[in-house]
Amino acid sequence: MKTKLSVNLNKVALIRNGRGGNMPDLIKFAIDCESYGADGITVHPRPDQRHVRYDDLAQLKEVVKTELNIEGYPSDNFMKEVLAVKPHQCTLVPDPPGVLTSDSGWDIDGEKVLLVDIIDSLKTAGIRTSLFIDPDPRQVIAAKEVGADRIELYTGGYANNYFIDKDKAVQSHIDCSKKAEEMGIAVNAGHDLNLDNLRFYSDSLSSLSEVSIGHALICDALYFGIANVISMYKALLR
């Protein structure tokens, strides 16, 4: 099965919010990304609303025809918005308020009570649930135990060490992918994946359903254009 590419639009929203108004038009950009071949759209509304805002979510759900993935920390406000919009997938991340970016995964055993309740609410609403985790097979097992449908492997460490020793950098991700297959749970991945390191990562894992890429993809689009860049990233996925 070919790995799907979900385009994260947070940096597009950041540009829009920097000047006010509606340029670039986030909703049109999402539609265009799908027309250029994106397999999904990812957004991560944060408490300070510096990226995608909560009032963008319903509009995105209305126009996205592939898959809408909403990421975030499951605060009361976040959960209220997600349950109202009902995206195709919700990726839960352990970000505290004010964090710059998602750079670590859940300690699932330490948050088991919270996560079981949240995942149950999402699944009751028909929303596929993914947990953002560090590449540790123990967290894969724990994710299955709390009822997650998928995991999203944090790939920041892999990206940081790719040019030092790519085989060593990817090994824990391979281990997680194998464990996920054993447990019957699907694998997503994201954070700092780019045109340099994506193909090796995708080729190395035995199972990889989806990658979510935003910052690098939007940076590349400044040079190559968004239509070209989506094609370039998709060409790297097995």
Q: For residue 126, give the DSSP letter.
A: T
Predicted local distance difference test score (pLDDT) of residue 49 = 85
Mapped onto helix, strand or coil, the DSSP state of residue 99 is coil
* Selected catalytic residue, list 44, 152, 173, 210: 44
Structural domain of 174: 4-235
Q: What percent of the chain has pLDDT over 90?
A: 91
Residue 126 has pLDDT above 60, yes or no: yes
| 133-178 pLDDT, tens digit each | 999 999 999 999 999 999 999 999 999 999 999 999 999 999 999 9
CB 176 within 8 A of CB 143: no
Q: For residue 93, give the DSSP letter.
A: -
**In Å, what is the CA distance from 176 to each residue of 24, 94, 183, 193, 207?**
38, 19, 10, 17, 10
* Selected catalytic residue, list 67, 71, 152, 210: 71
Mapped onto helix, strand or coil, the DSSP state of residue 211 is strand
Tally the C-alpha atoms within 13 A of residue 125's C-alpha that lie toward its C-beta. 21
Active-site annotation holds for 215: no
Quote the mean pLDDT of the chain.
Answer: 95
| 184-222 exposure pattern, b = at least 16 Cβ within 10 A, e = fewer | ebbbbbbbbbbbebbeebbebbeebbbbbbbbbbbebbe
* Selected catalytic residue, list 67, 173, 191, 210: 191
Predicted local distance difference test score (pLDDT) of residue 233 = 98
| 57-90 pLDDT, tens digit each | 999 999 999 999 999 999 999 999 999 999 999 9
| 108-144 exposure pattern, b = at least 16 Cβ within 10 A, e = fewer | beebeeebeebbebbeebebbbbbbbbbbbebbbbbb
Q: How confident is the model at residue 7 (pLDDT cuts 50, 70, 90)?
A: very high
Q: What percent of the chain has pLDDT over 70?
A: 97
Q: How many whole angstroms separate alpha carbon 34 and alpha carbon 177?
A: 27
Residue 100 has pLDDT above 60, yes or no: no
Taken in order 120, 121, 125, 128, the sign of the CA dihedral is negative
Q: How many whole angstroms separate alpha carbon 16 and alpha carbon 52?
A: 9
Mapped onto helix, strand or coil, the DSSP state of residue 21 is coil
Q: How many whole angstroms separate alpha carbon 171 and alpha carbon 45?
A: 31
Predicted local distance difference test score (pLDDT) of residue 47 = 85
Predicted local distance difference test score (pLDDT) of residue 187 = 98
Predicted local distance difference test score (pLDDT) of residue 104 = 72
Report how many domains make up the chain: 1
Predicted local distance difference test score (pLDDT) of residue 97 = 61
- Domain with residue 10: its CATH number is 3.20.20.70
Q: How many whole angstroms separate alpha carbon 123 and alpha carbon 148?
A: 9
- Of 76, 98, 88, 4, which Cα lies nearest the Cα of 43? 88
